[in-house]
Each structure stands twice: as structure tokens, then as C-alpha cells.
Amino acid sequence: MIADIISKLKNKEISALELTKSYLNKIESENPDINAFITVTNDSAIKEASNVDDLISKSENLDELFSKMPLLGIPLAHKDIFSTKDVKTTAASKILEDYIPVYDATVVSKLKSSGGISLGKLNCDAFAHGATGENSDFGPTKNPYDKSRVAGGSSSGTGAAVASEMVVFATGTDTGGSLRNPASFTNTVAIKPTYGRVSRYGIFAMSSSLDSIGHITTSAEDSALVLSQTAGFDPFDATTSKHPVENYLENIGADIKGKKIGIVKEYLSDEIDSEILEKTKSAINIYEKLGAEIIDISLPNSEYALASYYVITLSEVSSNLARFDGIRFGFDRDKFGDEAKRRIMIGTYALSAGFYDEFYVKAQKVRTLIIQDFKKAFEKVDAILAPVSPVMPPKIGEVVDDPMKNYLMDILTVPVNLAGLPALSLPCGFSSKGLPVGIQLIGDHFSEKNLYNLGYNFERISK
Ligand code: GLN
């Protein structure tokens, strides 16, 4: 927990340097096996940690210092699609193998200003295309709970690094589930904020109308603290919102008696793994015990969400990847992996003259219907509870050559992105094989504070 570490730093029970070194040691011993990091920034992390210790020793008012820099001394890492000044940023693709950005993504600079110490860059599916982490050109990330299985994707390194305590928290992106999926596979907590809540500036765009920038932590409270540092309007990203950033930690532990939680009948079909359904039911019981009112709801257009997502996403991917033409930066286009090539081809087809109305425009219309379904639901409920993944973490190699199987893993996560809603994914116990299972709480636009309140109360009973 970040709060515990901060209190130890404040009371001088540990130094930032000791703390950083202990995490770097963990990376040294665990990472060769797990493959969560693409780049480890040992030297700069040690330098930054010493600077933090200087700042602490010179400070006359530590409360003031830590309230200005709430993440002071906290070891973190970034998914390798966040631009980091002077630090190699590959998007897990060979096409960017040598690329060194000249500026930081807004989230990277915000977390620096909050005092966080970056230990490096994390593995993921190349350009964030995938749900298992196996589309990385730098090898798959292994699941710390069972190393023969994937850690989820696309933010595979983010989930695995947090779960195996190589960092305290890590950033990632969620275009169709890429934070919630690895969190549910690695027993960690992920926030996919409302679209436009966190700046996308400086992060390689996958699908610009869906990309959401969030993070993985080990608790709802840590997640709330980090979001309070990353959220907000950014003049460099015209899609960020001026909606005020709330104090997500205020009343996080408040009673949730009487809150209404919706259960979507279309999300609990027999296509979902039976143990995942069972765990979802046990989560519903916990909320009943906490005094929430459980209400059955329907999102009738859910069955069209995946098709609509893959038409819209692949169209936007084909346009966004056009910048890697081998002229301005990066290597030649033949360095693209199979999945990027597949997405460019399908996306270009969907956008081409004659097919545009039939595919792209139709998918956008379906998207509107999905948004309307959610809006209607939120007239009746404060949040929706659902499973995250329909399947347990696959074995490495099990689904990688079957794109349809891969895409079907996103069936419960993509509706949230299509509607631009926030969702919090929480650990919900383990399967009979000892594999982590996650649930997600979905809220109306800008209701992150409510999700954290619900998540915090859930953790109190489920942990
Ligand atoms: N698995 C989804 C896809 O491959 C989502 C990826 C993401 O959220 N970045 O498109």
C-alpha cells in the first residue's frame, strides 16, 4: 500500500534509496523469468531516489512536502507505449526498437512531478494489440501465478510487475480491456477511467476514440491516489475533459448501504467459464451483505459490441499506424508483426470507398445504441457488476495463432470502451487451479469516485 510506504519514508524508517534498490533487486531476480520489463532504468532510478532522500532530509515540513508530492519515492514503471524522454520506447514492436523520444507523455511528467520514481518500461502486446501479451516482439510475459500461462494483455508487463512486487504500481492503456484483463489474470486492481479523464498525449495511439489511460495497483485506495495525480485537462490533448477532478480518496470508506448494483443478464451467459460465473456470484453476495441492492438489468445490444469494436478499432489502428512509414521515425514497415499487419489490412478495407458506410458507419451506429443501453441502465443503478474475462488465463501458445479466440476474450470489456465509461477491475479470489479471477464495476461517465467507494468496501470483506 502506498500510504504505508509513505509513512515509513516520512518517519525515516526507510530511505527512498533503500526502497528503490529493494525493488530493483526484485526486478533483477524475477524479471528474467517473468519478462515484464523491456527496459530497466537502474541508474536514473538510483539517482532520482538519492534526490528524493535529499529533499526529505532538507525539508522542514514533511507533511507539506508529501502533500505537494503524494507519490514521493514510490517505485513505478510505464507500459512501453508511453513516451519517456531519453528512455527507449518501443511499443513492444521491432519497428521502434531503437526509438528514443525527445519528450515525456503528460502522464509520465505528471507522475514525475508527484515524486514517483520510474524503474523502467514494461512489456505489452505490440502497439497494445492483444489480450494475452503474446503479440510482443520481445517475447510473452509470464503469469506470476502460473508461469506456463499468460499474464493477460495488452498491458501484460503492467499486471505481472505489480503482482510480483517489482514495482508498487504501473501505468497502462485500456482500449478494449487491456488493463482490466491483465489485472484479473494477476490478482491486481485496474482502473480504466472515463474517456478523456486522463491525457493521451505522448502515448502511442491505438484507437484514438477508445484509448483510456489508467494504471494497475494492489488496492482500490492506491488506484484512487494515483488517479488523483494523473487525471485532468491537458491542453496537449483536445479530448481531455474540463470536468473537475474529484478527491477520489475522500469518503472512500463510506457505507454503501442502499447503493444499487446492476447485474447484466447478457453478461452471465454459459459462454463464460463456470468458475468465473461462480466467483461473480460470490461477489454479488458480498455486495448484498454490504447492504447494496442488487437489480437485474439488460443491455440488449451487448451481442453486437465485439463486432462493432473490431470494425472501429481496426479502422482507427490502420490510420494511426500510417505514421510508421520508415521515413520519419522507426524502421521500415516490414518490421511490423503479423497482428499489426492484420489490423492494418482489415481496417483499411473497412474504411475504403464503397465499404465505409457498410462497415465503419454501421459500427458507429451500433456504438450509439450501446451507449444508449448503458445510459438507460444508469437511470436505475449506481454501478454494474460483471466478470472481466470469459476465460481463465490461457497457456502460453494456446490462443496466439487463433485471432478469433483472442478477440473473443474481449467480449465483456469492449462495451465499456465503446461507451467511454469508467470501470474498476478488482480481484475476486482464485479458481480451483489457483488462478486469479477478477470482476469489474462499471460506472456512468465521471463516476470514478463512486467506483472507488464500492471497490474499497468490497476489498474490506473479500481480502
Ligand atoms: N484485446 C483488445 C484488442 O486486441 C484490447 C486491446 C487494448 O485494450 N489495448 O484490441
Residue owning the nearest CA to atom 5 of ligand 1:
176
Contact between 42 and 24 (Cβ < 8 Å): yes
Ligand 1 centroid to 178 CA: how many Å? 5
Task: Evaluate: CB of 212 within 6 angstroms of ligand 1.
Answer: no
Angle at alpha carbon of residue 94, lines to 89 and 96, rounded to 5°: 35
Of 206, 308, 409, which is best to mutate to test ligand 1, by the most ligand atoms within 8 angstroms of its C-beta? Answer: 206
Helix or strand (DSSP H, E) at 398: none
Task: Evaluate: CB of 193 within 6 angstroms of ligand 1.
Answer: no
Task: Evaluate: CB of 301 within 6 angstroms of ligand 1.
Answer: no
Ligand 1 centroid to 401 CA: how many Å? 16
Q: What is the pLDDT of residue 262?
A: 98
- pLDDT digit string (tens) for the chain, length 463 residues: 999 999 999 999 999 999 999 999 999 999 999 999 999 999 999 999 999 999 999 999 999 999 999 999 999 999 999 999 999 999 999 999 999 999 999 999 999 999 999 999 999 999 999 999 999 999 999 999 999 999 999 999 999 999 999 999 999 999 999 999 999 999 999 999 999 999 999 999 999 999 999 999 999 999 999 999 999 999 999 999 999 999 999 999 999 999 999 999 999 999 999 999 999 999 999 999 999 999 999 999 999 999 999 999 999 999 999 999 988 888 999 999 999 999 999 999 999 989 999 999 999 999 999 999 999 999 999 999 999 999 999 999 999 889 999 999 999 999 999 999 999 999 999 999 999 999 999 999 999 999 999 999 999 988 7
Task: Evaluate: CB of 34 within 6 angstroms of ligand 1.
Answer: no
pTM of the full structure: 0.98
Atom of ligand 1 nearest to the CA of 309: 10
List of residues 6+ apart from 435 with CB closer than 8 A: 143, 145, 146, 149, 185, 392, 393
Residue owning the nearest CA to atom 4 of ligand 1:
130
Residue owning the nearest CA to atom 3 of ligand 1:
130
Residue 309 burial (CB < 10 Å; 0-12/13-18/19+)? Answer: buried
Helices marked H in 77-213 — which ranges? Answer: 106-113, 156-163, 180-185
Task: Evaluate: CB of 178 within 6 angstroms of ligand 1.
Answer: yes
Of 127, 171, 175, which is best to mutate to test ligand 1, by the most ligand atoms within 8 angstroms of its C-beta? Answer: 175
Domains defined along the chain, listed by start: 2-462 (3.90.1300.10)
Ligand 1 centroid to 128 CA: how many Å? 6
Of 125, 317, 320, which is best to mutate to test ligand 1, by the most ligand atoms within 8 angstroms of its C-beta? Answer: 125
Q: What is the pLDDT of residue 328?
A: 84
Of 81, 129, 418, which is best to mutate to test ligand 1, by the most ligand atoms within 8 angstroms of its C-beta? Answer: 129
Task: Evaluate: CB of 317 within 6 angstroms of ligand 1.
Answer: no
List of residues 6+ apart from 4 with CB closer than 8 A: none
Task: Evaluate: CB of 130 within 6 angstroms of ligand 1.
Answer: yes
Cell 518501443, located at residue: 90
Task: Evaluate: CB of 192 within 6 angstroms of ligand 1.
Answer: no
- Region of residue 133 (phi > 0: left; psi between -120 and 50: alpha; otherwise: beta): left
Active site residues: 79, 154, 178
Task: Evaluate: CB of 422 within 6 angstroms of ligand 1.
Answer: no
